[in-house]
Amino acid sequence: MWDVEIRGMASAHAIIAASIFMATIMPAVLVEKFSVYGTHLVWLYSVAGSVAVVNIAVFWLLGISPPTKKNTLSYKLSKLFRSCVYFLLSCLFFHTVVVLYGAPLLESALETFSLAVLLSTFTTLRCLCILGPNVQAWIRVFSRDGAMSVWDTSLQITTGCSVVGAWLGAFPIPLDWDRPWQVWPISCSLGTTIGFLTGLLTAPLWIRWHRKQLTYKLK
């Protein structure tokens, strides 16, 4: 039972990671003068978009989403609407946090917001896919010892890694090396992506390593 779940998760993660690489390579073929530094926002949106699509597709196909009590169309629609609102709110939340961390308030607001969108895609969107728009479940998962399944643990790891990656990505900004990747927000979004990829890679490994210690309570 363990192995099946872990293998499923590993393959899901591999697909998501592959989508990030594809999102980096594809525009290079399609868009003229594309480079990760030069046309950073294009790269950022392409990564965010592809990760979003692949995430939704994978989790919809795997059917990991929480069981729904009602199966009516209006309920589903309201859920979808709530998810969108949550996503937007999380973008605003990340934007605020980044501004509090010292990003300029007015100028380059678009760049800051794009970073917030990327962060939300890597964190909130996955939460929405796995847990649904259910704040109580989110609080449970992100409080100590709150994970109840393999997917909860993987969610904890990838979210943590993405946020820490973005955090670490801010460190090279004050250095006076005059490198192209020191422009706001390139180092942070690269840090986020690398952190997310690390999270995707480590989550199955970590769970496999610690499967003896991990005892999930049944829902």
Partner 1 sequence: MRLSSSVFASFCLLIELLGIALFLRGFFPVPVKSSLSSKSKLSDLPAEPLAGNSPNSTKVPPPLFKRVVIILIDALREDFIFGPNGKRFMPYTRHIVERGSSHSFIAKARPPTVTMPRIKALTTGSIPGFIDVVMNLNSPAVLEDNVIWQAKNSGKRIIFYGDDTWVRLFPKHFMEYDGTTSFFVSDYTEVDNNVTRHLDSTLKRDDWDVLILHYLGLDHIGHISGPHSSLIGPKLLEMDDVIKKIHASLISREAEGTLPNLMVLCSDHGMSETGSHGGSSEPEISTPLILISPLFQRKVGLEQPAMVEQVDLAPTLALALALPISQNSVGRLIPAVFEEASLREQLRFLHMNGHQLSSLLRDSNPNFHKEDGYEQFRMAEKTHGNWMKLYMDGNTSEVLGNMGKKLLKQYLEALQAMSAALSKQLGKYDMYSMIVGMSLILQVLVLLVLAMPEALSRAACVDVPVASAFLSLPFYLLCLLGSSIHVLVCTSAEASCYFCSLPWLLAFTAILFSSALLCSLVAMAARYGEELVQCSTTRTSSDWTLSELDILLLTGTVGHTLSLGASSFVEEEHQTWYFLLNTLCLAVFQDVCRKYFRERRRPGDDEEDDPLLPSIAEEDASQATFSPAAELGVSVGSEKWLALSTPILTLACCRLLRSLNQTGVQWAHLPDLSHWLNSGDHKVVLSLLAALSLLLIFLLVQRRCSLVSKIALALGLLGVYSYRAAVGNVLFPWQHSGRSISKGTGEARFVYIFILGILFTGVKDLLRSQVMSSAVEGRRLKSRGLWEVYSGVVLLVALLFRAHNLPTLACCLLIQTLMAQFIWKKLHYDAAQTTIMHYWFGQAFFYFQGNSNNIATVDISVGFVGLESYVEAPAVFLTAFSTYAGPLLWACHLVCYLSSERDRAALSLGHGSYCFALLRSVPAVFYVVLVTALRYHLFIWSVFSPKLLYEAMHTLVTAAVSLSICAKSAHRKSDLL
Query: Which chain residues interact with partner 1 by CB under 8 A?
Result: 97, 99-102, 105, 139, 143-144, 167, 170, 173-178
CB of 91 to partner 1, least distance (A): 17
Judged by beta carbon, residue 51 or residue 103, the one nearer partner 1 is: 103
From the list 153, 107, 111, 116, the residue with the least C-alpha distance to 131 is 153
CB of 21 to partner 1, least distance (A): 30
Helices (H), 65-148: 73-100, 109-122, 124-131, 135-142
From the list 207, 86, 195, the residue with the least C-alpha distance to 152 is 207
Contact criterion met (CB below 8 Å) for 79 and 132:
yes
From the list 211, 209, 203, the residue with the least C-alpha distance to 16 is 203
- Rg over alpha carbons for the chain, rounded to the nearest Å, is 18
Judged by beta carbon, residue 30 or residue 177, the one nearer partner 1 is: 177
CB of 122 to partner 1, least distance (A): 18
DSSP 175: S
Q: CA 179, CA 4: separation in Å to the nearest integer?
A: 45
DSSP 106: S
From the list 144, 122, 136, 124, the residue with the least C-alpha distance to 191 is 122
DSSP 69: S
Contact criterion met (CB below 8 Å) for 181 and 142:
no
Judged by beta carbon, residue 33 or residue 217, the one nearer partner 1 is: 217
CB of 136 to partner 1, least distance (A): 8
Judged by beta carbon, residue 63 or residue 174, the one nearer partner 1 is: 174
CB of 125 to partner 1, least distance (A): 21
Judged by beta carbon, residue 19 or residue 158, the one nearer partner 1 is: 158
CB of 204 to partner 1, least distance (A): 24
Judged by beta carbon, residue 30 or residue 100, the one nearer partner 1 is: 100
